Structure 1
């Protein structure tokens, strides 16, 4: 089974597309849950309780099947959603809240790290 991981990186980074799943059918469901709940708090404890899997085993399976840690995946998905919202003209503060970052400083730091521009610079382009 193949999983499309979506476009994770900005123009400067390579796209990641499809990764093979090693007969574990929980990973597609976990990815789907994360993608649908980006605006909510997502933690390993929460995911492990929802999918009835030990959080350490979850980390191992997730990394093995996607090449990313759960936290890396969540951050990149949130940043990609933030880029989409900023492109629609939504302010950086509203975008920060809409994509589930706890505070603006974390959002700003991760956005600049992933995209290579600040939210304002991205918005102005």
Structure 2
């Protein structure tokens, strides 16, 4: 008799993923706080009166601030995705592909713990 394809991860497997996600969530929240602190420091610049040099510095500061803001937005999006993955663990849908209904391989979930698609489904969607 052929063994049935596994439809869900066990409680112990889900616990492993939950710990991985919690670890990534903590690191991401610390990174976001660091980015916010850096952005705040950029807002409180010095008062130099050398206009041409100041203008160049302002341009560089504005670019750096924009890059920090983009990184902070990306980090916030990642945090939200990780938090949503925790919700899926709690409601029993974690690790199940939203497109195919198949179990997402553990290796993929370890690499991208917030994913909702198998690699095949993701590649098919991008075509």
Do both proteins adopt the same fold according to a TM-score greater than 0.5, normalized to the shorter chain? no
Q: Which one scores higher on RCO, CA 8 angstroms, separation ≥ 6?
A: 2
Task: Give the TM-score normalised by structure 1.
Answer: 0.29
TM-score when normalising by structure 2? 0.29
Greater fraction of residues in helix: 2
Greater strand share, structure number? 1
